[in-house]
Copies of this chain bind each other. A is one copy, B any other.
C-alpha cells in the first residue's frame, strides 16, 4: 500500500478557512435530526437488549428485506437471503476482492476509478487494467479491446469493477444500451461484473436507471445507505449469487464478526417509519443547486484550456486542466490559496491523471462553491503565468486544437 490520498484530503478538509471541493461527504443538513433523536431513543429503550448485542455476520433479516425493496427501485428482483449487510459498501468491495482475487490477478476498472476501490485492489495485490470512458460511460469497444488483449496473454480478469451511475470521480453515467453490451462482453469472456452503485438514486431528473444486476443475476451488486441516509452509520451491502454470498458471509465473520446491530436497526426503523424517498428527493435538490453553482463558476472563472463534464446526478465534476499543469504538484499551492480538490492521479492505478482533478459539489454551500472555484481559477492562472514566464509552457500540440474552456464530457485521458 502507498500513502493514502483520502487521509490527506480529510485532514485538509477539516480546516475551516479552506473551501474543500475534495471530499465526498454527503450533505446531511436536511436530515430530520429531531425525529431521528426520538427514533434512536426509542430503539435503545425498547430494543436495547438486541440492538446493543452481537448479531449475525450476514445482517438482520428485516433490514435485508428492506434492502431488497430499495433495490427494486432499480429493477432488481432479489432474495433477502442473498444480501449481506456490511460496514459501508467499502467493506463489501473489500470482501469481494478478498474472496475473488489472488495476488497478481487482474481486475478491470474504469479509468479513472474510485480511490477506495483501488485501495482494496492494491491491498490484495490485484493488478488493475483501466478501461476509458466517454460521456456515455465505459466504452464497450475499449472494454472489448482490453478483454481481447488479456485473452491473448492467457489472462481472464477476475472481475470488471464498475460504477455505472454518476461515476466517482468522472461524473458520467453508463447508457442503458451500453449496459447490455458490457454485460454481453463480460459474459462472453467469462468475467464477473461487480456493480458499485452508491449514487444510483441521486439523479437530478428523478429517473432511475436499471441496474446491471436487474439485467443479469450473476452480477455482484454493492449498495450503500451512506448517500441516501447517513454515512456515519456505515451501513452498506452486497447482493451476490448464493455461492459468492456464502463466501462473503464467512469473509465478513473474519473481518468484523458481525456488522453493528444498532446501526442496522436504526436504518431499518428509518426506512420503515420515515418518508425516506422524499428525503432523498430533498438531498438531490440540494445537490442540483450546488452542481449548478459549480458549473456556472467554472464557466465564469476558469482559464482557457479547461474541460469538464456536466453530471446529471451524484457528487462530482471531473476537470482536465491545460497541458503542462500537474494537479498533484499544484495541490499545496491551492491549499495555500484556501481551496482543496482531489488530484487525478489518485484515481488511476497506472500513473495517469496528472492533468485531471475531481471537484465535489456535495458538501459546501453554493456560495462557498463559487468562492472555491474562483480561488482555484486564480491558482490555475498563476500556474499558467509561471509556465509562460519561465518557458516551461508546453509547445502547441501539432495536429489538434487546444480545447476552449467549457463542458466536454469527460476529459480526455491523455497520459
Give chain A's interface residues, CB within 8 Å of chain B: 1, 3-4, 6-7, 10, 23, 25-26, 28-29, 31, 33-34, 36-38, 40-45, 48-57, 87-88, 90-91, 94, 98, 116, 119-120, 122-123, 226, 230-234, 247, 249-251, 253-263
Contacts and interface: CB of A to CB of B under 8 A. Distances in A.
Contacts of A48: 28, 31, 33, 36-37
A262 B3 CA distance: 26
Contacts of A56: 7, 10
A11 to B, nearest CB: 8
A94 B1 contact: no
Nearest to A14: B56
Contacts of A10: 54, 56
Which interface residue of A29, A44, A88, A231 has the most chain B CB atoms within 10 A? A44
A254 B53 contact: no
Contacts of A234: 87, 256-260
A256 B33 contact: no
A255 B90 contact: yes
Contact of A87 (B7, B43, B51, B87): B87
A39 to B, nearest CB: 8
A7 B84 CA distance: 14
A94 B37 contact: no
Contacts of A49: 28-29, 33
A247 B94 CA distance: 16
Given A38-B41, A234-B259, A254-B116, A31 B52 contact: yes
Contacts of A123: 98, 251, 254-255
Contacts of A233: 52, 260, 262
A251 B94 CA distance: 10
Nearest to A263: B260
A232 B55 contact: yes
Contact of A40 (B28, B44, B230, B255): B44
Contact of A1 (B4, B54, B251): B251
Nearest to A258: B234
Nearest to A116: B257
A91 B34 contact: no
Given A25-B53, A44-B37, A253-B4, A232 B262 contact: yes
A328 B194 CA distance: 38
Given A7-B56, A123-B254, A232-B262, 5 more contacts: A7-B57, A10-B54, A10-B56, A36-B48, A122-B254
B256 A94 contact: yes
A328 to B, nearest CB: 19
A88 B53 contact: no
Contacts of A33: 44-45, 48-49
22 contacts: A1-B247, A1-B254, A4-B57, A6-B253, A7-B253, A28-B49, A28-B53, A37-B44, A50-B232, A51-B232, A53-B232, A88-B257, A90-B255, A91-B256, A94-B255, A94-B256, A120-B254, A232-B262, A234-B257, A255-B255, A260-B260, A263-B263
Given A52-B230, A87-B260, A1 B40 contact: no
Given A37-B41, A44-B33, A232 B54 contact: yes
Contacts of A7: 56-57, 249-250, 253
A56 to B, nearest CB: 6
